[in-house]
């Protein structure tokens, strides 16, 4: 079974090691290591002198402090006090630990490992003898364990530890880390399942499914896989499950105030996953569930589960996703709404939801090599995930808007969730460590292998050196995403026969050039990949992708984007910022036949490619002018538009921002 | 002082009587008399078998029944039980009574008057010996009277009775009706004011100010005017007033749950009215306050108060009003947001707020004859007030949107307040009777008089016969708003010398023709009025207004309306409805040089003028098409657009609706 971090299926041709050499991602991975990890640790220990922001206007959001580590100290009996924060506060610590695990692989650090080992000791001390560990319930309400799963996040919380424990074990060999995870899973297995006397239910927030699948691969313990599958299949089968629990636990004893306002579809619990035609409810819940389903589908060969994954993938990607990769069209329930409803200034687009889409895409790629999965993965990686962190690594977005005005955020309560500057931390701090663990594990998203077909798939243009079995090594070099020249150098000293498949991204599908050392043979193209038959000792591929600037148009059912275009180059979606363009940004338009000028600016925003175009704008009507008047033809004035990559917005002074720009029709 | 319903200032030339002969408004006034009054009475007595709709998604909204009359029976001791409904439930009854008073003038009805007289007896029985009357506090919390004015609506409630009592007295001569009002005002005067020992505060919801001004005019009791002025000047002077009351009353004892979330500006209580530069907070509160201020300014000649009215008027009308006359850009707090923020599909535009704008405009016209006030009054009367009631008189809108999709209302929780069909009744039923009293009193909005300048101003094109002092009579005949030919026939048997000023509406300012019997003299034009010097025994004026179709453009700072036009003819704003135009409506556009065809259709929607135009539309992109793609030029197909008056929308089958339509640039 699974042997290492990278690849879960192959045995004959597993990926043994990989080093990210990519400039773009090395900067982010250094940021995680040097800024985000120490910063987040100090916040979770309440040692950072910062103001914590509520992710929404709500007095019930705990936002005085993090207290996340203190909750463990109290639950372990090492300290006196009460639990503070959300019921799932523990997961901040777990996601941080998981990120630490990944960084220790590319940036070994004995001091950090010592801190993490001690944290694992603390977690082990905290864990109860039966394996249970959720500090809120241990400290505040031990009698309510597993009694109100709609709100309790208990399996969600332990799922996050399981992910962290598996990762830490795999990187460092710390067996205690794995053993905590096993004991948690055993506790859950003891309490949940189809057998009589167990709870025939599931957590209101999916997560345990994907965690158990990971644990199964680390331990080969089939019970964990069965349990993961049970949670998936049981979900929504008995829509009264939550209500019965709440009736028994006491209707007026909400664990998270206000959650009862949401319908069962918010929890993907209104009907079985096989009957869920569209992605409904809380976006992160949907995609965590899908990630677990895709993982379990591969491990169990359950075609019905895979079909459900494909259906939800298609609905999200083809009807409900912003061009940045953001998902979740409404802040109310951080949720999906309906097909083609993609408002640019009231959306949610939670950082965690984009991180989750990266997880889901990866698991789908492991099921089937379709370029679309890697395309969306790339869209997430280069846009609405990393837009969630500032270039300094210490400020974060929960919500990633496509159009911002300071006045709207301040004065329209319907947009009060849209921050126009990244924040230090949040009352619900799920996003910062989630993004840290994604960036720190980016090496796991570059390749997949298909043992049966003896194929190595290269999904992402992230420069790296990778060693596979049979002494095969692949070096990918590039200056992506700024340049489209990609070079693969394959060493195959044993002259093994295998296939190497390179994704041709959707944005370059019709314009790219390819050179390779395989002579006359022209490689096969299928489902977004180009397949090379390799048997030579050395093989070189040079790919030149289409790095022209694209004007992108939305399906005209998206009324918010009508008569507008978004600017994209390679995978990078661009935006206009007031820092470069005088407001109001709504008054610009891109001409019929624009000439875009691309410039890489090494000194701007840690090095970004910028795009400029000669365009037009209306002069803003005078403030003392009439509000309404008889129509008169607009008078367009020449204007210059300066675009920067979306992910890099608001790293200078605050102001307006917009992704979609009016287009001369 | 005030002698009758119509005019408050003139003595030498008061308006003695007026009969509305207008076809358009007679239909509405019959609807009030024959449908709305009996229907609302049965609802308030819980005899109508209807479903009551919550105006927002909130479990705390009382919506099982109205119980409005029962609350009086219980408070009067005639019945046992508890109070039900909002703390201001009494005001439904009062507004209904006020509407009844006005209908009894144009449609005398002994049976209805008998019912109303009995209601007044019940109210008199309910009133406490000190004059206090709010059924909620009398039944449920007598110890909390005047103790939590931020939420209690006590002066608001009694203010509504005072308005009703004055109107009923003036129409019917029922002195008990007036005496109840006086006793209420005396009770308030006893408890509030600058004197030591009294409460130095005011109601969280303005209303008492305008009511006391009316009572002063009916009674000539200066205390009432002084008290009205006190409430205006005291407001916001001591921003801690509400907080101190709440501290004393008990922080956790909210009368209306959730109200503490709103800032002081929601109540116009964050600073004195003289320092309020813009209309902030709850739209109805702002405009009720302004109405009272404008009334008091006239009666007291307080220029500072009048200046404050002008400032708020300008801000609302020039920066914060929808083209329909709707105000309130956000459902959160039913509030204003900021200048030029006028989203068409998430707005509030409460019917009551438009009704209040009509009140405010009338009071400003009584201060100064500026056409703009009458223009806005007209905009409200023909658009976003009457859009609040169905053509059958028994279904109502609380929220008046400018763009609707059924799917959005059903599936986007941020639009759940936008109903796509009018409702039977609301948990908070302020709007239906408010609209009834406006329509029933429309005769009070047609003329004002300036005694000093011996001028009669004709503001509205609502056909009527009016008798003034000195045997002067004016007959206005027209088929407005469908036709622009207006005829004034003035009889002046005593050959008095006076001025007659006719408003030239803003939409006709540059195109109208005028004929009159005054010979060569061309009348003076000033501030939106044309002034005729009348001394002849008979004088005729024929005015032909510009009834061409206008394409209206918003100030380009309103980003929601960029590249769009709204269609207006006369004062009527038009809309596209799915009943006439295949959806999605967003895909239509009006060509560069459109040719509009106007047709009056007597059998459609109780008789409406419709507008048609040959236009263009995009074919909707296929549902299995990509969500994003490289830009390609739109392919426009010929299409026909059919517009109906906005006020008449959704009187057929439900579907999409939009006011603003894309325009070929």
Q: What is the pLDDT of residues B88-129, one digit of tens each?
A: 999 999 999 999 999 999 999 999 999 999 999 999 999 999
List Cβ neighbours of B425 (8 Å cut-off, separation of 6 or more).
B43, B48, B50, B52, B53, B66, B396, B432
List Cβ neighbours of A502 (8 Å cut-off, separation of 6 or more).
A458, A488, A529, A530, A532, A541, A543
pLDDT category at A310 given cuts 50, 70, 90 is very high
Percent pLDDT > 90 in chain A is 91
CB < 8 Å to B624, chain A: 318
B283 near A CB under 8 A: no
For A552, which residue in chain B has the nearest alpha carbon?
A: B630
pLDDT category at B257 given cuts 50, 70, 90 is confident
With CA atoms as reference, report the closest residue to A476 among A496, A459, A497.
A459
Q: If you search the block for the tokens 């100064």, which residue do you land on?
A: B368
- Which candidate from B321, B618, B665 shows the least CB-CB separation from A556? B618
A288-327 residues touching B, CB cutoff 8 A: 317-319, 321, 323
Asked if A79 and A72 count as a contact pair (C-beta separation under 8 A), the reply is no
Asked if A573 and A383 count as a contact pair (C-beta separation under 8 A), the reply is yes
CB < 8 Å to A330, chain B: 412-414
Q: For domain A447-545, give the CATH superfamily.
A: Maltose phosphorylase, domain 3 (2.60.420.10)
CA distance B628 to chain A (A): 4
CB < 8 Å to A625, chain B: 555
Separation CA B288–CA B292 (nearest Å) = 6
Q: Which two tokens stand for residue A477?
A: 């070099």
For A663, which residue in chain B has the nearest alpha carbon?
A: B631
pLDDT attached to residue A11: 46
- Higher-pLDDT residue of A226, B12: A226
User: Are residues A323 and B628, on separate chains, in Cβ contact within 8 Å?
Assistant: yes
pLDDT attached to residue B451: 85
Asked if the domains at A21-445 and A447-545 fall in one CATH topology, the answer is no
Strand-pair partners of A643: A576, A611
The residues of A that are catalytic are 334, 430
- Within 10 A of B603 (CB to CB), how many other CB atoms are there? 7
A620 near B CB under 8 A: yes
For A510, which residue in chain B has the nearest alpha carbon?
A: B630
What residues does each domain of chain B span? Answer: 21-445, 447-545, 550-663
- Which candidate from B331, B333, B586 shows the least CB-CB separation from A562? B586
B594-613 residues touching A, CB cutoff 8 A: none
Distances (CA, A) of A242 to A236, A332, B13, B76, B123: 10, 21, 73, 46, 49
pLDDT category at B4 given cuts 50, 70, 90 is very low
Model confidence at B462: pLDDT above 60: yes
CB < 8 Å to B559, chain A: 584, 586
ipTM: 0.95
The whole-number average pLDDT for the span A513-518 is 92
CA distance A554 to chain B (A): 4
User: Are residues B584 and A557, on separate chains, in Cβ contact within 8 Å?
Assistant: yes
B626 near A CB under 8 A: yes
pLDDT category at B11 given cuts 50, 70, 90 is very low
pLDDT attached to residue B122: 98
CA distance A178 to chain B (A): 42
Percent pLDDT > 70 in chain A is 98
A252 near B CB under 8 A: no
CA distance B12 to chain A (A): 38
User: At CA B492, angle to CA B487 and CA B496, rounded to 5?
Assistant: 130
User: Are residues B412 and A563, on separate chains, in Cβ contact within 8 Å?
Assistant: no
- Residue pLDDT, tens place only, A373-400: 999 999 999 999 999 999 999 999 999 9
CA distance B434 to chain A (A): 27
A514 near B CB under 8 A: no
Distances (CA, A) of A583 to A586, A617, A628, A643, A657: 8, 10, 21, 14, 9
CB < 8 Å to A335, chain B: 413
**Active-site residue (options: B187, B309, B352, B430):** B430
User: Are residues A341 and B408, on separate chains, in Cβ contact within 8 Å?
Assistant: yes
The whole-number average pLDDT for the span A412-441 is 93
pLDDT attached to residue A12: 57
Distances (CA, A) of B601 to A306, B547, B571, B595, B659: 58, 16, 18, 19, 20
Interface-testing mutation among B625, B628, B646, with chain A (most A C-beta atoms within 10 A): B628
CATH 3.40.50 fits A21-445, yes or no: no
Percent pLDDT > 70 in chain B is 98
User: Are residues A621 and B319, on separate chains, in Cβ contact within 8 Å?
Assistant: no
**How many contacts, defined by CB atoms under 8 Å, are there between A and B?**
153
CB < 8 Å to B277, chain A: none
């Amino acid at each position: 079974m699974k042997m290492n971090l990278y690849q879960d299926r192959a045995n004959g041709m597993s990926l043994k090691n990989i080093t990210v050499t990519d400039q773009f991602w090395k900067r982010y991975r250094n940021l995680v290591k040097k800024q985000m990890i120490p910063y987040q640790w100090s916040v979770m220990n309440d040692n950072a002198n910062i103001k914590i922001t509520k992710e929404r206007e709500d007095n019930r959001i705990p936002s005085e402090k993090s207290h996340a580590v203190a909750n463990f100290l109290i639950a372990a009996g090492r300290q006196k006090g009460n639990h503070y924060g959300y019921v799932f506060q523990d997961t901040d610590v777990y996601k941080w630990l998981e990120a630490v695990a990944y960084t220790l692989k590319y940036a070994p650090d004995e001091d950090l490992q010592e801190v993490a080992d001690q944290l694992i000791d603390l977690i082990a001390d905290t864990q109860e003898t039966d394996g249970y560990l959720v500090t809120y319930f241990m400290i505040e309400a031990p009698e309510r364990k597993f009694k109100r799963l709609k709100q309790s996040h208990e399996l969600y919380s332990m799922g996050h530890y399981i992910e962290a424990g598996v990762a830490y074990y795999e990187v460092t060999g710390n067996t205690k880390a794995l053993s905590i995870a096993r004991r948690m899973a055993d506790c859950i297995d003891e309490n949940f399942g189809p057998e009589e006397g167990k709870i025939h239910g599931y957590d209101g927030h999916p997560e345990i499914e994907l965690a158990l699948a990971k644990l199964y691969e680390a331990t080969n313990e089939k019970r964990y896989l069965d349990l993961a599958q049970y949670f998936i299949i049981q979900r929504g089968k008995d829509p009264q499950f939550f209500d019965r629990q709440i009736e028994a636990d006491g209707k007026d004893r909400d664990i998270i105030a206000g959650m009862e306002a949401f319908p069962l579809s918010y929890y993907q619990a209104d009907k079985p996953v096989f009957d869920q035609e569209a992605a409904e409810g809380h976006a992160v819940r949907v995609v965590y569930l899908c990630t677990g389903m895709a993982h379990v589908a591969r491990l169990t060969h359950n075609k019905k589960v895979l079909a459900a994954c494909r259906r939800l993938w298609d609905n999200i990607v083809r009807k409900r996703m912003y061009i940045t990769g953001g998902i979740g069209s409404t802040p109310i329930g951080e949720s999906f709404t309906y097909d083609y409803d993609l408002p640019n200034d009231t959306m949610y687009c939670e950082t965690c939801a984009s991180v989750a889409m990266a997880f889901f895409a990866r698991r789908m790629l492991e099921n089937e090599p379709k370029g679309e999965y890697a395309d969306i993965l790339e869209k997430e990686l280069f846009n609405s995930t990393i837009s969630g962190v500032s270039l300094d690594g210490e400020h974060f977005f929960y919500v990633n808007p496509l159009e911002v005005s300071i006045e709207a955020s301040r004065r329209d309560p319907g947009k009060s969730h849209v921050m126009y500057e990244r924040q230090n931390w949040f009352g619900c701090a799920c996003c910062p460590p989630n993004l840290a663990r994604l960036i720190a594990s980016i090496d796991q998203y570059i390749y997949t292998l298909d043992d049966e077909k003896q194929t190595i798939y290269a999904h992402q243009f992230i420069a790296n050196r990778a060693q596979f079995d049979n002494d095969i090594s692949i070096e990918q070099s590039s200056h992506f995403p700024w340049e489209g020249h990609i070079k693969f150098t394959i060493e195959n000293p044993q002259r093994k026969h295998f296939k190497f498949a390179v994704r041709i991204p959707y944005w370059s599908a019709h314009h790219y050039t390819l050179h390779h050392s395989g002579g006359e043979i022209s490689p096969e193209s299928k489902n977004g990949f180009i397949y090379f038959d390799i048997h030579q000792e050395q093989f070189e591929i040079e790919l030149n992708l289409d790095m022209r600037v694209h004007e992108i148009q939305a399906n005209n059912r998206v009324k918010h984007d009508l008569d507008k275009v978004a600017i994209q180059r390679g995978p990078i979606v661009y935006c206009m910022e007031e820092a470069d363009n005088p407001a109001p940004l709504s008054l610009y338009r891109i001409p019929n036949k624009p000439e875009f000028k691309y410039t890489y600016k090494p000194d701007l925003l840690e090095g970004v490619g910028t795009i400029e175009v000669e365009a037009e704008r209306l002069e803003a009507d005078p403030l003392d002018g009439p509000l309404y008047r008889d129509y008169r033809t607009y008078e367009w004035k020449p204007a210059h538009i300066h675009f920067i990559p979306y992910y890099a917005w608001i790293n200078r002074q605050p102001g307006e921002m917009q992704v979609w720009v009016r287009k001369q029709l």
